[in-house]
Structures are given as structure tokens and as C-alpha cells.
Structure 1
């Protein structure tokens, strides 16, 4: 009898070992699959950001313009689309011409800047590399650039269309995701999703306001200084401001290079203008939208952006900070508060609870 009991326990132990082995293997395969699909998942995250923008705009129309709730989302989508087309109609030709001017003059600007630093003409080295490149290799590179542009445009359309679908039926996707977890965890997962979504919405709205302000101020400053293509350079500065910390630096580089191609005095005024605009953004714009800011330790946010760019390239650089917002909320809520039992404020949680109880 003891021998039978020992054999039974041994069989059960082996079965438990096999079960745990399969679980570990399944988790490993899942991690590998997620890694392989990282680009697709980042695009899906971008679609969620688009859906948040549309829903926030719809909520504003319902609250302030008294638009019926069932029409809010579609009216918000139409208004944003009309504004986008109007901007293209009013400034599209001018901005396109200025962008062409930026692209044409950029080699000269880089050469002039390089010579001021005591180096030779960089474009000569680039021309030599291009001339020595086999024709097939050059054609392949040109085709690769064209393919990358087409792929980027396709990804943009995919993100926008998917964002509209998600915004049209957010509960469908939310409940579907929650059902992937055991039933006893549904409430916890739902509250975590609500807090993460609200934190993303708050950050996104504050960032969009800052982008518009920086773009307008930069365009005005570059026009007053006398830089060529001020609309294009201001647009670059405004769009780059979507990336915290690194974005303002990256967005200011083209304007500063163009300024050095004119004169040292122009470059000095441009650098001063960029610094003043960033001070206005940090000390005037952000305090006005302080309620919409998600407070993440600066060093943590900076490393999140760098890690995102290293792992996923340009897409990771763009989405590094919003991904850090979601991770920050989930870690504070699920680990610090629930696992460790520590009291800690969670960005977006109070607003999410107010909306849920309303």
C-alpha cells in the first residue's frame, strides 16, 4: 500500500513538473511572439492614442457644445478632418515649397556649419560615396527610401483607421481584453485599464496643447529673425515637441543649422529664441495645463525614451514616453499599491473614478 501511494505521488509529481514545464515553455513562446510582433503592437498602441484624441474631442463637444452623445464621435472626427484639410488647402502649397527648400539647402547648410567648425565639406564625402557606389546598390538604396516613405504613410493610415474603429466601440475591445484574464481579476484589470487610459488622455491633451504653442511661437520667431522657410521649420519644431526632452532639441537643429548658414548673429538669435520658447513652454504653458500633466521622474522618462528608440527604432522613440506613462501607472497600481501594500498616488485614477461614478 505504501509502495502504491509512493508511486501515485511520484506520478502526480511528474505530472505537475510536466505542467509547469509546459507553462514556462508557453510563456517563453508568448514572449518571443510578442517580440516578433513588436512593430504591430506599437502601431496598435498608436491607434489607441488616436482613439483617445477622438474620444476626448467628442466629450468636449458633448459637454460644451451640447452635441448629442451618439453624434459626438462622428462630429469630432469630421471636424478634425475638415481642419486638417483646411490647413492643407491654406498652407499646404507653401509648406511643401518650404520643405523642398529645406531639403535642397540642407547639404549646403551642413557644409557651411562643418566649415565653421574647421572640418571639410561633408557633402563632398557623401558625393564621393554615392559616386563610388555600384549603380545597382544606389538604385536599391533609392528604392529602399521610397519603400520606407510608402510604408510610413501606410502605417499612418492604418493607425488612423484602426483608431477610428477603436473609438467607435471602445467597450468591445476593452471587455475582450479583460476576458483574457481569470474572472476574479476582472475588476482589477478594468480599473487598471481605466487609470492607464485616463493618464494617457491627460498627458496627450497637455502635450498637444504644448505642440501647437511651440509650433506657433517657433514659426513667429523664425519669421521675425528672417530664417528661410519659417513655416516648415516651425512645423518641424512643433511636431518634434511630441517627444519630451529629446524632441525640442531635435526640432531646433534644422533651424539652428539654417541660421549658421546665414550668419553667426542670426544663429545666436535663433538659439536665444529656441531657449526662450522652451522656457515659455516649461514655465507658462505647462503650469496652465498642470492638471493634464502626468508626473513621471525625468530621469526615468528619459531612459524610457532612449530604451524605446534602441529597441524599436523611430517608432519606439515616438511612443517611448506614452508607453512609460502606461507602465508607470500599472507598476504603481498593481505592484506598489496592491502587491507591496504601500499607499501611492496614481496618475489618472481619481479622474477615472469620477467618470465611472458619474
Structure 2
């Protein structure tokens, strides 16, 4: 029979045959779909690992955008102007602060930074000599080996600090991304929502809103803590005549952005520099460190924690260790916000599952009553 004589409901024999790729058995087809999903998830995970560094830079831009947005919202409480003008003012204040810091304190801090390594090394040698003088068998060669092992353990961090040009490029990209996102956040939110089913978009909007709110609060508290610790430490050390007070205050403020890790590092530097001026000055530096950290830990952190995500310190520290090894300084700085966002996402998923379970129970109860 020719094709001209095929009826409307008939299909040519060649077209009616199943393709070699078709799976006729329903159970086997379901298993194949499951396998395809798992393979797709594995491929997606591989892509995430491969593009991990760019993804961290993008997340850094989101964090910077949250800072800009928080500052614009804060200005909105006192200045009845448009959001665009408030964002420009926030950026202008930031640039002016950097110019002021570089112009008035740049030379002084640069000179102090050049002197600090020699002072720290001299203090470590004094500590070793004191220990050996009190009967402690401290081998300088073993100490050097321990220091080398510690250095290898924080290799990514030291490499990140050494790669100044790469760090500046990363900061520039983060700043540009943050400005773009802060100017039109709804544009990117609509783009993400467009890729989801219509019924999922309200859930996404509420989740992103909660994330943005918590991120703004978290960063506001972090910046407040940095300012309080840096300024208070610098003033207290300068009042007693501690060498490099300005540099120590700046390092304390910057390292305060790294919870659990930054404070011990800045405190150790402060104490080493303090004992270079005598025992009394060293004890004074210890007292300053304790007072500043006590105020930050018992006043600022609890005040901010009430309005943000409550994160377990061990969880944050573990995330910092992992991200620090993987991404260096950038991973250390972004570990806390990233963990907070993941926690909010899991909480939202748990709330949704709980609401669905309660709805099923109510429906079952109403069906049984009828």
C-alpha cells in the first residue's frame, strides 16, 4: 500500500516501531528517570566545584550589595530622597573614608607595618629564651619546624595575602557586582523567579526577602563590631603609648570581620608588641584585649544576634576552616554569611514541609469526620 492510501488514523510501519532509546516498561522507565536525575545532580555538583571561585566572587558581590542596601535604608530614615541618590551617598561616603584613611594614616601605618615583623620575631626569640631560662627544653629547630607546619596549614591564606594584585582585582569585581545588584535588586530577583514554576515564585520571593533582611542585619552588626573594636583598641593603646597603636587598631578592626579567628590573631599581635615595651605595657595590652572582646561579645554580638540568624560558633568555625583552605581570605570572610544563608534556606524548607504535613492531617481529619 502506498502512502497515498494510508488512512488518517494509520501510521506507517517504520514510524509505528519504537525507537531503540524508548523504554516500554513503566518500572524500568521510572528507574531510568531516577538515574538521569542523579547523574544531573552529580554533573551540577561537578560544575559548582569547577566554578567555585567565580561563585564565591559573585556571593561576595551579593554581600557587598547588602552592605550598600543597608546603608541606603538607614539613610532613608533621615533623608527623604530617592533610593538611587541614597546609594550614591553611601558609595561617596565609602570612597571619602578610604581617601581620608589613605591620606592621613597611610604613611604612618605603612611605616609601622614595615617594623612589625622584626618586632614580632624579636619577641618570639625572647619568649623562647625565657622558657629555656626557666628549665623548659625548647629547641629552636623544633620551633622552626612547628612554625613551618603551621605556615603550610594556612598556605592558602598566606598566598591570598601575598597575591596583592589578584586580591585587588577580586575586590574590584566584588565592588562592581555589588553596585549593579544594589542598584536594581528586583531585576535579578525577577530573573531568578522567571526560571521557576509560577506556583514556586511567591515562596522564592519570601525566602529571598528573609535572606536579605538577615544578611543586612548580620553585616550591620559585623561592621559595628569592627568599628568599635578598631577605634577602642587604637585609642586605648595610643593613650598608654603602645608602639604601632594605629596599625594595631586597624588590624583589630579588619580582623573583627572574621569571627572566632580574627580576635585571637589580633590579640596575639597586640600582646607581642606590648611586651616589646616592657612587662607593664604587655599586661596593659592584655587588659585592653580582654575589655574590648568582653564588650563586643557581651553587648554588640548579643544585640545583633537577636535580629539575625543564630549561628553556632563551632559551625561557623568549621565553615571558616573549610572555606579558608579552599578559597583563602575570601572564603574566611564569606563563610559566616554563606552559612547563615544556607541555614535560612533549610529553615524555609522545613517550614514548608511542616505546613504541608499539617495540611494533609487537616484534610484527613475532615475526610474522616465527613
**8 Å contact 1:205–1:292 — kept in the other structure?**
no
Distance 1:282 1:198 in 2: 22
Count of residues in correspondence between the two structures: 322
Q: Which stretch shifts more, 19-28 or 197-206?
A: 19-28
Gaps spanning 5+ residues in structure 2: where?
1-21, 133-137, 149-158, 358-370
> Once the 2 structures are TM-superposed, how far is the Cα of residue 199 of structure 1 from its aligned partner?
0.4
TM-score, reference length from structure 1: 0.80
Q: Out of 227-236 and 110-119, give the one that drifted further.
A: 110-119
| Partners of 1:95 and 1:288 in 2: CA distance | 32
Query: CA, structure 1 residues 293+147, in 2 after alignment: closer, same or farther (shift >3 Å)?
Result: closer
Kept in 1, the 8 Å contact 2:217–2:308? The answer is yes
The aligned counterpart of 2:53 is 39
Partners of 1:340 and 1:184 in 2: how far apart?
A: 18
Task: Trace 1:83-232 onto structure 2 (pairs within 5 A).
Answer: 83-118=97-132, 119=138, 148-232=163-247
- Taking the aligned partners of 1:314 and 1:122, their CA distance within structure 2 comes to 29
**Counterpart-to-counterpart distance in 2, 1:224 and 1:198:** 39
Indicate conservation of the 8 Å contact 1:112/1:260, yes or no. no
Counterparts of 1:73 and 1:247, CA distance in 2:
30
- 8 A contact 1:294–1:325 mirrored in 2: yes
Matched, 1:76 2:90: yes
CA shift for structure 1 position 237? 0.7
**Residues 204 and 12 of structure 1: is their aligned pair in 2 closer, same or farther, counting only changes over 3 Å?**
same
Contact 1:111/1:122 (<8 A) preserved = no
Q: C-alpha displacement at 1:53, in angstroms?
A: 1.0
Q: CA deviation at 1:150?
A: 1.4
Larger Rg: 2
User: Which SS does the other structure have where 2:243 is aligned?
Assistant: coil
Q: Which whole-Å CA distance do the structure 1 matches of 2:26 and 2:313 have between them?
A: 51
Paired residue for 2:14?
none
Q: SS of the residue aligned with 1:181? A: coil
Distance 1:289 1:221, change over 3 A: same
CA contact (8 A) 1:296 1:325 kept: yes
1:18: which partner in 2?
Answer: 32
Q: CA deviation at 1:329?
A: 1.2
Deviations along 1:265-296, one digit per CA (max 9) or x if unpaired, are 32222112101111111233345556544322
1:251 to 266, 276, 280: 266
Structure 1 gap ranges (5+): 1-7, 130-143, 344-358
Q: In structure 2, how many angstroms separate the alpha carbons of the residues matched to 1:277 and 1:179?
A: 48
Kindly provide the CA deviation profile for residues 99-137 of structure 1, in whole angstroms up to 9, marking residues without a partner as x: 1222343332332333333345579969xx9xxxxxxxx
Q: Flag the 1:115–1:162 CA change in 2: closer, same or farther, 3 A.
A: farther
SS of 1:294 mapped into structure 2: coil
- Alpha-carbon distance change, 193 to 122 in structure 1, aligned in 2, over 3 angstroms: farther
CA-based RMSD:
3.0
244-253 vs 49-58, which moves further: 244-253
| In 2, Cα distance between equivalents of 1:236 and 1:342 | 49
Return the alpha-carbon distance in structure 1 between the equivalents of residues 160 and 203 of structure 2. 46
